């Protein structure tokens, strides 16, 4: 499994989503040494054992994205805040009582058959909403790095 940073994120999210029923179980698998967190070296070791192939910089980019509080280790809270509870439900809350059930609509992302969870505001499932959101965030970061401070301020004001 090779590719760019975005593909690596998508592959990682897909692997976690398909293999584990809950985010907590996914974290326990990732935390093989039962330290309560995952360091970069252990993270790369796990991804390589899963068959992921990428440059170290790509692994580092994925690790930094998952490390929500930027303390150089991934905790369960980091994983929850980066991947999100919308991808995998909390272990004790499988049924949402606050969602009014409406017409079921399939995600419009290419080759995705996931239901959009009765979301009237989007045509994408929660996984692809998160992927698109992260892509746009990464795009803005790249744009901001190419601009001067004044140019970025002007652009931000126009938006």
| pLDDT value at residue 140 | 84
User: Angle between the 56-66 and 40-49 helix axes, to the nearest 10 degrees?
Assistant: 110
| pLDDT value at residue 40 | 93
Taking the complete model, does pTM exceed 0.85, yes or no?
A: no
Provide the residue ranges of all domains of the chain, joining segments of one domain with +: 1-93, 103-159
Q: Give residues with Cβ within 8 angstroms of 151, minimum separation 6.
A: none
Fold of 1-93: Recoverin; domain 1 (1.10.238)
Entry field: residues in the chain? 159
User: 29: pLDDT confidence band, cut at 50, 70 and 90?
Assistant: confident
State what percent of residues in the chain have pLDDT above 70: 79
88-130 residue pLDDT tens: 555 444 444 445 555 556 777 777 777 666 556 777 787 888 8
Task: Give the span between the Cα atoms of 157 and 159, in whole angstroms.
Answer: 5
10 Å Cβ neighbour count for 63?
21
């Amino acid at each position: 499994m090779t590719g760019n940073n975005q593909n690596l994120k998508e592959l990682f999210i897909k692997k976690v989503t398909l293999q584990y029923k809950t985010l907590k179980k996914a974290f326990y698998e990732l935390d093989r040494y039962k330290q309560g967190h995952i360091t970069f070296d252990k993270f790369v070791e796990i991804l390589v054992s899963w068959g992921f192939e990428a440059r170290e910089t790509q692994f580092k980019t994925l690790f930094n994205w998952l490390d929500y509080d930027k303390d150089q280790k991934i905790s369960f809270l980091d994983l929850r805040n980066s991947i999100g509870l919308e991808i995998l439900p909390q272990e004790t809350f499988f049924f949402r009582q606050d969602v009014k059930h409406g017409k079921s609509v399939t995600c419009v992302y290419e080759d995705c058959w996931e239901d959009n969870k009765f979301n009237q505001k989007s045509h994408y499932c929660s996984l692809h909403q998160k992927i698109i959101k992260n892509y746009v965030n990464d795009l803005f970061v790249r744009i901001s790095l190419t601009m001067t401070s004044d140019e970025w301020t002007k652009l931000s004001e126009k938006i």
